[in-house]
């Protein structure tokens, strides 16, 4: 009973998120990651890795994956900073 009352207090204070908002954010984040992976695997790598040796492939893919992680982190930070429906009037 105490936990339910505390959840109600947190909800009233705007300290919780709606399940639908969390699902939307997770879906958006997943789509960002997968679209980046698809872009690398289907567009960028086939063209840029053609004719490369093992060491070049390793170096290029490592750099691309690090950039993907940075881009993904930036996109998640942007998503996290967007107002929720609880914060909008």
pLDDT of residue 15: 75
Kindly report, residue by residue over 1-24, the tens digit of the pLDDT.
668 888 777 777 777 778 888 898
Burial class of residue 6, CB neighbours in 10 A (0-12, 13-18, 19+): exposed
All residues at 6 or more sequence positions from 74 whose CB lies less than 8 Å from its CB, including other chains: none
pLDDT of residue 39: 96
To the nearest whole number, what is the mean pLDDT of the chain? 88
DSSP 8-state class, residue 41: I
Distance CA(71)–CA(13), nearest Å, equals 33
Secondary structure percentages of the chain, helix, strand, coil, to 5? 80, 0, 20
Band (pLDDT 50/70/90 cuts) for residue 86 is low
């Amino acid at each position: 009973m105490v936990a339910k009352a505390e959840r109600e207090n947190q909800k009233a204070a705007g300290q919780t998120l709606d399940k639908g908002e969390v699902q939307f954010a997770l879906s958006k984040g997943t789509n960002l990651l997968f679209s980046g992976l698809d872009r690398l695997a289907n567009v960028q790598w086939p063209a840029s890795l053609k004719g490369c040796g093992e060491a070049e492939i390793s170096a290029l893919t490592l750099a691309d994956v690090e950039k993907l992680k940075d881009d993904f982190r930036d996109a998640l930070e942007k998503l996290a900073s967007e107002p929720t429906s609880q914060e909008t009037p």
